[in-house]
Copies of this chain bind each other. A is one copy, B any other.
Amino acid sequence: MSVQRKGVPAVAPRFSDLAGDQPAWMDSILKGDCVAALERLPKNSVDLVFADPPYNLQLGGDLLRPDQSKVDACDDHWDQFASFEAYDAFTRAWLMAVRRVLKPDGGIWVIGSYHNIFRVGSILQDLGFWILNDVVWLKSNPMPNFRGKRFTNAHETLIWASPSKDAKYTFNYEALKTFNDDLQMRSDWHLPLCTGAERLKDAEGQKVHPTQKPESLLYRVLLSSSKPGDVVLDPFFGTGTTGAVAKKLGRHFVGVEREQAYIDAATARIAEVEPAAPASLSVTKGKRAAPRVPFGNLLEAGLLHPGATLTCPKGKFKASVRADGSLASGEHTGSIHKVGALLQGQDACNGWTYWHIEQNGAKVPIDALRQIFRLRRPAA
């Protein structure tokens, strides 16, 4: 596949099926230096950042394979820094620029290797970002260590952070759990490198970008920590993996990139992406997203009657329902939660799952009645 399309504008065409009026920078690639280009975005305009900054690889001479063929190392000039101080200054600058455009309840991901990730992590913390997780991308097919002098470097590290300690960041917990066969998603992600047809090649068959990330990685990043319609910024856009996956998943993107060749490749690539149907983008949500149902509503709706008797799971405690939706059990009165907690001598209790009622000879948690109520009266 050739990506050398002459005359493609630096700003990719917006895809129109997502929204009506959009600022000019939406779903486009800004050409230029990261810090300068970000000044063209308004403050608090971005929901999520994914950044794959230069790794500051400090390679000595050429690396040879056992058969003496040369390893195609990442020795591009943009990856060279004179010192740790220079790299730190660069990192601080782009992180501060990103911070300005990131919403207070947004999120940021940065990927790196041991060459740079410790600098990035420290500076994130120094700037007041709050680390939520570090995630390790385990490569199922890493490059072996040809000289046998170290362990095979089989992973990279991602840092997920919010702009401040008390930010209300997005995390699609239930969706990720469903994704992972009903088990919590862990901080270790086993994914293959970007190879084969997914890897962009130029007319000569050479890879267009030395560190193109797999779409599977971005899929998981965007699915976990953004919502459909969100704006995702990638300040080191490269060949646009972030943009391609964002478009596929119904998110907006903004990219910043200095090299025209990468911009051309990314623009062509993203144009070919088919967005998923909006309906398939809705994602499993937990109980927290369901509308709150006051217990008293069950009485109003006739699903329960004043005077009904509730029991705890083991039948040890009983309580009777009062007309105002409170419970009475001996001396204790109060909400379903409070009475449950008091009887058990605990600080808290989820009354919906604790209290049961007998129906057709079986004990059913009152949460089942709540579900019936919600079905009868959707979006109450």
Contacts and interface: CB of A to CB of B under 8 A. Distances in A.
Given A121-B118, A182-B338, A284-B333, A307 B175 contact: no
Contact of A296 (B179, B187, B296): B179
Nearest to A153: B187
A68 B178 contact: no
Contacts of A305: 276
Contact of A151 (B133, B151, B153, B175): B133
Given A171-B150, A184-B145, A184-B152, A307 B280 contact: yes
Interface stretch (A4-12, A39-47, A264-272, A316-324): A316-324
A236 interface: no
Interface stretch (A204-212, A215-223, A253-261): A215-223
Interface in A72-89: 84
A121 B114 contact: yes
Contact of A281 (B120, B181, B279, B323): B323
A313 interface: no
A149 interface: yes
A292 B122 contact: no
Contact of A131 (B114, B198, B294): B114
Contact of A322 (B126, B281, B333): B281
A138 interface: yes
Nearest to A346: B68
- Most chain B CB inside 10 Å of its own CB: which residue of A159, A183, A284, A348: A284
Contacts of A124: 118
Contacts of A281: 306, 322-323
A186 B294 CA distance: 12
Interface in A112-160: 113-115, 117-122, 124-126, 131-136, 138, 140, 142, 144-145, 148-155, 157, 159-160
Nearest to A159: B114
Contact of A155 (B174, B187, B307): B187
A337 to B, nearest CB: 8
Given A142-B186, A172-B324, A295 B179 contact: yes
Contacts of A171: 149-150
Nearest to A348: B68
Interface in A95-111: none
Contact of A133 (B114, B122, B160, B191): B114
Nearest to A248: B306
A151 B185 contact: yes
A302 interface: yes
B180 A296 contact: yes
Interface string A157-198: 101100000000001111111111111111110111000001
B152 A68 contact: no
Interface string A270-287: 000000110111111010
A131 B118 CA distance: 11
A35 interface: no
Contacts of A33: none
Given A136-B155, A138-B138, A175-B323, 6 more contacts: A68-B348, A157-B157, A219-B300, A223-B324, A276-B305, A276-B306
27 contacts: A114-B121, A118-B122, A118-B125, A119-B125, A121-B122, A122-B122, A132-B150, A133-B153, A136-B155, A138-B138, A138-B188, A142-B186, A145-B184, A149-B171, A151-B184, A152-B185, A172-B324, A179-B294, A179-B325, A179-B326, A180-B294, A181-B335, A188-B188, A192-B376, A215-B300, A276-B305, A276-B323
